[in-house]
Structure 1
Amino acid sequence: MVTPVRVVIALCLFAPFVAMLWVGSYAKTDPTLIGIPFFYWYQMAWVLISTALTATAYKLWQRDQREQRARAASKGGADA
């Protein structure tokens, strides 16, 4: 079942792949950050961004699963 929350989860998990596979967007040396070429610090920034996005996706997934269990329990309780 596709829900808005699951779409957000998918986007959180898909964004790092797109960012890293689109090499042409970051295959350059300028701007540098404390002497580190853009190519390197951009990838290192995505390590942190990916961690945050994965944690967000995980928390959203947990919440979605809790809500689904609660809905299933309320449906089961109403039938009994």
Structure 2
Amino acid sequence: MNVVQFLVGMLTMSSVVAISTYWATGSIWKALGWTIISLIVLQVAYLLYILWAVYRPGADAAEDDPPETVIWLGHGVDICL
């Protein structure tokens, strides 16, 4: 996921939470509190997703069989490693 997309989504989500909480309660302090809580939950979930993506079982299998590397030396001569 692109960082800009994540930031736009986080800003949109926090705005929706803040506005809806303010309309429901009429309190700016409750809206601010719920917005901060939702941002913390979003950050924790994003961190867990990144950790899952890095350490999932498929990541080990990808390292076991690296693709063949071909070095092009020019003039039609290739070396396979």
TM range (shorter): 0.3 to 0.5
From the two aligned structures, give the one with the greater helix fraction: 1
Asked which structure has the greater CA Rg, the reply is: 2
| TM-score after normalising by structure 1 | 0.46
Q: For CA contacts below 8 A with separation 6 or more, give which structure has more relative contact order.
A: 1
Q: TM-score with structure 2 length normalisation?
A: 0.46
Q: Which has the higher strand share?
A: 2
